[in-house]
Amino acid sequence: MTPPFLRKLLAEFLGTYALIFAGTGAVVIDQVSGGALTHLGVGLTWGLIVMVMIYTFGDVSGAHMNPAVSIGFTVTGRFPLKELLPYIIVQVAGAISASITLRLLFPQNQLLGATLPDGSEMQSFVLEAILTAILMMVILNVSHGAKEKGITAGIAVGATIGLEAIFAGPICGASMNPARSLAPALVSGHLEHLWVYLTAPVVGALIALPLFSVIRER
């Protein structure tokens, strides 16, 4: 029998792999097919894969699939500090594995869905921080309180991801996830502006915590 913590790590690896494979894969396929998916289709893909993975692995690992979310949960005391680094390692490993798969499938594609600012770095930094703060607020709220909230968590979080990807994606990429940006950047070799997408989501997740505490905690 697989020890419980190893099952959690495997679930996080598989969930993050599926997230990056489908999400950045949609970006790549839209590019190589001449826009067949469209920007709306890419945004919907991100939202749907997040929803599906939450319902698939949520009861095993929590389906964080995002180092910024794991850090946020750790700071709130909802996630053990000793499990944080292993979670981040398997999330990044799952993401990189997905990007390598896409590189093998689409060797002609240059960016592999990497996130790059359309405007200034600071503009994208602020956008990413705000987007992640909104996402973290949603995650904290649907994982807190009544059981019915937990049942609909996948829909709420997936809808948030899809919404933010649709409206903000053309400007900043709407990453909200350091692993999501790190993997295609490393595999494609496009490391420019990467600091924005490694730091802004963590800042945004941390901004959400005191706001949630004021609104919800007693």
What tens digit of pLDDT does each residue of 114-169 get? 999 999 999 999 999 999 999 999 999 998 765 555 688 999 999 999 999 999 99
With contact defined as beta carbons under 8 Å apart, do 46 and 162 qualify? Answer: yes
Read off the pLDDT of residues 47-59 as tens digits, 9 standing for 90 and up: 999 999 999 999 9
Q: Other C-beta atoms within 10 Å of 70: how many?
A: 24
Provide the token pair at 215: 């609104």
Question: Is the predicted pLDDT of residue 212 greater than 90, yes or no?
Answer: yes
Note the pTM of the prediction, 2 decimals.
Answer: 0.95
Domains detected in the chain = 4-216 (1.20.1080.10)
